[in-house]
């Protein structure tokens, strides 16, 4: 994945390209390739297995891309710990193929010649193998073809979802890398064995060493390299390095020093302690924290092995342990990122659903001023027709202005809610609130044959948002009516009552003759998207509880043989006379 600034303009501005859309909500997507459905164009059927890729995904690499690929590949291969094994230079950790895979995934076959050149230069300059140049060229071409195949499989299997978008993508990525590098190593070692440049007795050991090098190098390095090649992800890494979460990096460095200099490296006694800072960073900052901490761990291991001169066998064991730690950290990070995205989406859904509930209450509030406006304007027309120009006309016009202001205030509340979720607290008489809520269901009660009973409420006032409390009462009464409607006509009852609890709280009860709430239902009743209705979203009770708790109250359902919901709210004022 290359920096966003190098992508064509239409990808950054048009969601139809598919790339930008795949990155939304997850900046660490490595292979965001859109999956196209079969369709007909100019009379020809287009196969979805061979989609026409967006221009951004198939553009030619520039000279900077070529320099970055070739130079970066050679530099990464030089930085790995190379040792001679049966006449071949191998390494326990090979990060260079990870860079090649990223470019192949980004540019597809257009960078294959560049990657083959990078492999050939690296083998000739860094490793200096004793192989004929023709065989070395064939080896570079074979490795390039194998990496290209891995990149294409990743593109097709993961597509627009992205490697690190979710847990299935991460598992698929690991599986393809493990299987693909094994096949590539089999072809390479098999070719060297058949040409006589590798003894058959050493083929198994060399195959295992080469495969482990590719697996550990790609799985450990690929996420970090992908983030370094992406402008947005680099900014995220920069924030982690300069922010408070850099403490996890310092902890990692301290554990590395303890591992290398305080313990006996041949036994790797303290190395598992690195899991603590990696898990902490992943849990706190998601995948970005895990990638950065694991990258620091790998750099520390490379530097430590050069300083201490560790044996290749000990280094192989180290890299296997780092791989286990890395995969654990990546998994934790992906889970954390996934939960954060789901939480953000849920909050947005709840807010939109709450806005819909608020809109229902606002429509009721707007009905009265609009009706009054219509009556006053007609009165103005009649007064004008009668030739009235005095105080009567002025009084009616003042009322028109007042009702218009009232309607504007109601609309502004909806606007404020959409923008910031702001609520407007006001003094509300409890009796007025309950009677208004019950009056809205009077017609429905007559139509369905339900006895709607409103018991006298205590003379107290609340300091709350009227519209939000009306949303709560409307949800509870609507649920009560639906439950009561399931009973025979003679047994349909809904009761709304309230009683004062001490001097500071009031308890409102909504009771119905429906089947009631069971113990199993009560556990998940107020969770979002938990609904027993075929057409319901399961958001009404979740929104209602959130509103009540925001007012300093509580909302719950009691397990009984009938429907019984109670909500408590703080009292602002109590008096012996109702308003």
The verdict on 223 and 360 lying in the same domain is no
Whether residue 319 is contained in a domain is answered as no
Counting other chains too, the contacts that 118-121 makes at CB distance below 8 Å and 24 or more residues apart are: 118/69, 118/70, 118/73, 118/74, 119/73, 119/143, 119/144, 121/70, 121/74
Closest CA to 538 of 521, 551, 554, 553: 521
pLDDT of residue 452: 92
Quote the CA–CA distance of 174 and 218 in Å, as a whole number.
10
Residue 327 lies in a domain: no
Judgement on whether residues 410 and 457 belong to the same structural domain of the protein: no
Q: Single out the residue in 242, 273, 288 at which a domain terminates.
A: 242
Pairing of strands 505-512, 88-90: unpaired
Q: In terms of Cα–Cα distance, which of 180, 250, 253, 251 is closest to 211? A: 180
Regarding whether 455 and 375 lie in a shared domain, the answer is no
Residue 328 in domain? no
Same domain, 45 and 116: yes
Residues 26 and 76 in one domain: yes
Residue 403's pLDDT is 77
Q: Looking at the structure, tell me whether residues 477 and 450 fall in a common domain.
A: yes
Within a 13 Å sphere around the CA of 12, how many CA atoms are in the beta-carbon half?
8
User: Does residue 381 sit in the same domain as residue 495?
Assistant: no
Q: 395 and 461 share a domain?
A: no
- Indicate the Cα dihedral angle 300, 305, 311, 316, nearest 10°: 20
Same domain, 463 and 409: no
H helices present in 485-539, as ranges: 519-524
**Of 189, 211, 242, which closes a domain?**
242
Q: Does a structural domain hold residue 232?
A: yes
Q: Does 95 lie in the same domain as 205?
A: yes
Does 27 lie in the same domain as 141?
A: yes
443 shares its domain with 568: yes
Select from 242, 257, 290 the last residue of a domain: 242
In a domain, 335, yes or no: no
pLDDT in tens, the chain (579 residues): 333 333 333 333 333 333 333 334 444 444 444 343 444 444 444 444 443 433 444 567 888 889 999 999 988 888 775 555 555 566 777 888 999 999 998 888 889 999 999 988 888 777 666 677 788 888 889 999 999 999 989 888 776 556 677 788 888 889 999 999 999 989 988 888 888 877 888 788 888 888 888 888 888 888 888 888 887 777 777 777 776 666 666 666 666 666 665 555 445 566 677 777 778 878 888 888 888 888 877 777 777 767 766 666 666 777 778 888 888 888 888 888 888 888 777 777 767 766 666 666 566 557 667 877 888 888 888 888 888 778 888 888 888 888 788 778 767 766 665 566 566 788 999 999 999 889 888 888 888 899 999 999 998 999 888 878 887 898 899 889 988 998 898 889 999 999 998 888 999 999 999 888 887 777 777 776 555 554 444 567 877 888 888 888 999 998 888 889 999 999 986 665 544
Helices (H), 195-274: 203-228, 231-242, 247-257
371 alpha carbon, distance to own chain's centre:
46
Alpha helices in 485-518 (DSSP H): none
Q: Are 224 and 101 in contact (CB under 8 A)?
A: no
Kindly state whether residue 355 falls inside one of the protein's structural domains: yes
Q: Is residue 287 part of a domain?
A: no
Q: What is the pTM of this model?
A: 0.56
Helix residue ranges, H only, 258-390? 275-308, 312-385
Helix axes 275-308, 203-228, angle to 10 degrees: 120
Q: In this structure, what CATH number is given to the domain that contains residue 437?
A: 3.30.565.10
Report residue 134 as tokens.
């023709």
Query: What secondary structure letter does DSSP report for 513?
Result: S
From first CA to last CA, the distance across the chain in angstroms is 68
pLDDT (0 to 100) of residue 410: 67
Return d(Cα 482, Cα 185) in angstroms, integer: 66
Alpha-carbon gap, residue 316 to 332, rounded angstroms:
24
Domains identified in the chain, total number:
3
CATH code assigned at 351: 1.10.287
- The domain in which residue 187 lies consists of 4-242
In a domain, 309, yes or no: no
């Amino acid at each position: 994945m290359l920096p966003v600034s190098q992508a064509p303009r239409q990808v950054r501005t048009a969601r139809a390209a598919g790339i930008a859309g795949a990155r939304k909500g997850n900046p660490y997507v490595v292979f965001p390739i859109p999956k196209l459905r079969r369709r007909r164009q100019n009379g020809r059927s287009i196969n979805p297995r061979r989609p026409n890729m967006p221009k951004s995904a198939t553009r030619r690499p520039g000279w900077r891309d070529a320099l970055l690929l070739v130079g970066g590949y050679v530099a990464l291969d030089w930085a790995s710990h190379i040792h001679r094994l049966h006449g071949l230079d191998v390494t326990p950790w090979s990060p260079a193929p990870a860079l090649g895979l990223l470019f192949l995934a980004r540019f597809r076959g257009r960078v294959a010649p560049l990657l083959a050149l990078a492999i050939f230069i690296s083998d000739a300059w860094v490793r200096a193998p004793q192989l004929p140049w023709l065989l070395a060229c064939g080896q570079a071409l074979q490795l390039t073809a194998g990496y290209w195949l891995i990149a294409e499989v990743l593109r097709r299997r993961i597509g627009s979802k992205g490697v690190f978008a979710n847990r299935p993508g991460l598992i698929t990525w690991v599986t393809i890398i493990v299987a693909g590098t094994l096949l590539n190593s089999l072809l390479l070692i098999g070719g060297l064995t058949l040409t006589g440049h590798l003894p058959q007795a050493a083929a198994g050991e060399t195959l295992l060493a080469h495969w482990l090098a590719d697996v550990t190098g790609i799985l450990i390095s690929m996420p970090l390299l992908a983030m370094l090649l992406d402008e947005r992800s680099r900014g995220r890494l920069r924030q982690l390095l300069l922010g408070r979460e850099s403490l996890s990096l310092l902890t990692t460095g301290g554990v590395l020093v303890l591992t290398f200099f305080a313990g006996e490296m041949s036994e790797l006694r303290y190395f598992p302690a690195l899991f603590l800072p990696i898990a902490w960073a992943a849990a706190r900052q998601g995948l970005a924290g895990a990638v950065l901490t694991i990258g620091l761990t790998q750099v520390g291991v490379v530097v430590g092995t050069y300083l201490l001169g560790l044996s290749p066998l000990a280094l192989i064991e180290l890299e296997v342990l780092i791989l286990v730690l890395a995969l654990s950290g990546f998994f934790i990070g992906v889970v954390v990122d996934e939960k954060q995205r789901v939480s953000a989406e849920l909050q947005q859904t709840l807010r939109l659903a709450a806005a819909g509930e608020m809109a229902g209450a606002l429509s009721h509030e707007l009905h009265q001023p609009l009706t009054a406006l219509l009556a006053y304007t007609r009165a103005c027309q009649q007064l004008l027709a009668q030739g009235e120009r005095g105080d009567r006309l002025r009084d009616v016009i003042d009322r028109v202005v007042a009702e218009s202001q009232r309607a504007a205030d109601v609309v502004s509340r909806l606007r404020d809610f959409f923008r910031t979720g702001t609520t407007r607290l006001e003094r509300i008489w409890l009796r007025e609130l309950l009677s208004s809520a019950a009056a809205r269901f009077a017609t429905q009660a007559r139509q369905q044959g339900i006895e709607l009973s409103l018991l006298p409420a205590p003379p107290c006032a609340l300091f709350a948002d009227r519209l939000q409390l009306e949303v709560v009462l409307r949800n509870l009464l609507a649920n009560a009516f639906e439950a009561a409607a399931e009973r025979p006509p003679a047994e349909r009852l809904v009761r709304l009552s309230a009683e004062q609890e001490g001097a500071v709280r009031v308890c409102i009860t909504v009771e119905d003759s429906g089947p009631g709430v069971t113990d199993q239902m009560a556990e998940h009743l107020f969770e979002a998207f938990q609904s027993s209705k075929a057409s319901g979203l399961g958001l009404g009770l979740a929104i209602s509880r959130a509103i009540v708790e925001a007012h300093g109250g509580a909302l719950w359902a009691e397990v009984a043989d009938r429907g019984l919901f109670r909500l408590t709210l703080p009292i602002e004022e109590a008096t012996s006379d109702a308003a």
